[in-house]
Structure 1
Amino acid sequence: MSASPDNAVVRTVNGDVPADRLGVVDAHDHLFIRSPLLPGQEVADAEDAGARLAAFHELGGGTVVQWTPYGMGRRADLLPGLSRRSGVQVVAATGLHQAAHYPPELLDSVRDSLAELFVREITEGVTGTEGAVRAGLIKVAGGFHGLDAHARLTLRAAAEAHHRTGAAIAVHLELGTGALDVLELLCGEAGVAPDRVVLGHLNRSPDFTVHHQLASAGAYLAFDGPSRANHATDWRMPDALGALADAGFADQLLLGGDTVTPDTPGMPHLLRRVRPRLELALGRELVERILVANPPGAFALRR
């Protein structure tokens, strides 16, 4: 795994910061998110977002990486103020989720210019009340045990945007599946270095053999969305992380809260309950590495 160079930066909503100054990182979360697949469950309240950031900060949190992509209610114009008031650095995302999360007319309007959209939001930003807010991450998605035409389109656009900007590519894996197909396209076909790819939701499919294959390929592995009873999450996470660390892949592991509905315990829970649980099982040194030492390499701007 390649470490970030000494001069590497991470692009936050308030500007670029040295990659080694992120502090404790929630590597996958959402301050705001809206989808027709979750009617009535939007995460859209600015006061609540501020409270969650403040609680995260009080527990020692330093940076939150928001994976909400284009067209899903990310409220980019509010992020700089929320970040400043809370003392928590925020990384915003461009990119595109699965087709089911969008009205067809929105997809029709961007389908032929996705790479340009992603590049523009990273280099120029989204215009907000306080000026342009630039994204520091490209978020896309795979499918369930494979890639459909929409996933292939967005992954290829993400690869082009990465090559032009140096931003990392974060991938939603549907129920934790399809990761090998994602790497085959991004790294095999599109020439993206594996350590520029963050694979999300691997806790949802606790297949230790596949985890080992992905880590061997060189990607970052994110275990995010803890405390959902319908997923094999918390109780399998220590074993999964421990197995990867024992196999020599401790430097490629990330943790996130993934708040996608108002009742998700999210970012404060990550530090208040998940961190001490993992420290008991795995030791404080490994958990510190996952939360502090690994994210700079995953999220720095570099080609």
Structure 2
Amino acid sequence: MRARTVLGDVDAADLGVCDAHDHLFFRTPRLPGQELDDPARAAAHLRTFAGLGGRTIAQWTPYGLGRREKDLAELSAATGVHIIAATGLHQAVHYDPDVLARVRPRLAELFHRELTDGPAGMIKVAGGFHGLDEHARHTLTAAAEASNATGAPIGVHLEEGTAALDVLDLLCAALDVPPDRVMLSHLNRSPDPWVHRRAAESGAYLCFDGPSRSHQATDWRLFDVLAALVEAGHTGRILMGGDTTTPDTPGIPHLLRVLRPRVEAQLGKDAATAIFKTNPAQAFAW
């Protein structure tokens, strides 16, 4: 099985310790003045990440939000860290209406082209808050078409961690995407063990990311929900990432400096190996 990085395909087993959801570059009109747009800062984070044993970053920044594809390739070559880039489309609020009007009629074609000819190794799309609006259904449908044609994995932004089961109903039950090709993100923002178990039982990957957000039940509930999944036998469905979206968030190294030692201490070394190495190698494989 292969994973597609910005420098080409690699054996998925060689991804090593992985940050399964993060951003080196990210620009959205929803966060004016808080852009991640500094290659030197990104390089420093990558070097620190590598020094902590990190080997791969999955950058979930989709089409139109400042991915800086050329910089990603140069950073990967300079630091030795694999980078998996994303095609896809975020929620409509992140785009100028003219951009949406131009790309929405050909989304599946765009995703497919960037997966086969461009830099992308995954598709990133988004659900809505406690449900799926028309834009979410449109982009998820295009993602399913591109994924079913290529075998590429799909990462889904869950708004405040909600609508996980709605996403799975559409992607997997209605559109025939294999559940193990789906990564559901931000589940720590809605720490509902019942929903988490249902999602894990489906075969999808559950990504817990974005630590230390002061207004959400993240770090102080994170290990409760992780332990519940481990105890229920779902260690093999867990991923973790940093989801650095603004300069004032803890940054990519936080995942390995702070959270991985806690995973080892509280859940055990076998769980840490699964969460940071084994599971990402499977989740990002084509």
| Shift in Å, 1:236 | 1.1
Q: Secondary structure at the match of 1:41?
A: coil
Question: What is the TM-score when the length of structure 2 is the normalising length?
Answer: 0.99
**Whole-angstrom distance in 1 between the partners of 2:157 and 2:18:** 18
Report Cα offsets for 1:239-296 as digits up to 9, x if no partner: 1111111111111100000000001112100000111122221112211210011101
**Whole-angstrom distance in 2 between the partners of 1:27 and 1:261:** 17
1:190 to 175, 180, 200: 175
2:79 aligned residue: 86
Report Cα offsets for 1:178-213 as digits up to 9, x if no partner: 111100100011010111100000000000010011
1:142 aligned residue: 127
Structure 1: which 5+ runs fail to align? 1-7, 126-133
1:35 to 5, 28, 31: 28
1:74 aligned residue: 67
Q: Is 1:249 the counterpart of 2:234 in the alignment?
A: yes
2:148 aligned residue: 163
Conservation of the 8 A alpha-carbon contact between 1:65 and 1:90: yes
- Paired residue type of 1:280: A
**Whole-angstrom distance in 2 between the partners of 1:228 and 1:179:** 20
What aligned pairs does 1:1-303 form with structure 2 within 5 A after superposition? 8-125=1-118, 134-301=119-286
- Paired residue type of 1:30: H
Report Cα offsets for 1:124-182 as digits up to 9, x if no partner: 11xxxxxxxx2000000000000000000000000000011110000000000011110
**Whole-angstrom distance in 1 between the partners of 2:47 and 2:17:** 14
Q: Secondary structure at the match of 1:43?
A: coil
**Whole-angstrom distance in 2 between the partners of 1:58 and 1:47:** 17
**Whole-angstrom distance in 1 between the partners of 2:76 and 2:255:** 18
Structure 2: which 5+ runs fail to align? none
Task: Give RMSD over aligned pairs.
Answer: 0.7
- Paired residue type of 1:12: T
| Shift in Å, 1:84 | 1.2
Moved over 4 A (4+): none
Conservation of the 8 A alpha-carbon contact between 1:255 and 1:290: yes
Matched length:
286
Q: Secondary structure at the match of 2:9?
A: strand
Conservation of the 8 A alpha-carbon contact between 1:225 and 1:266: no
- Paired residue type of 1:141: A
**Whole-angstrom distance in 2 between the partners of 1:44 and 1:86:** 18
**Whole-angstrom distance in 2 between the partners of 1:245 and 1:278:** 11
| Shift in Å, 1:60 | 0.4
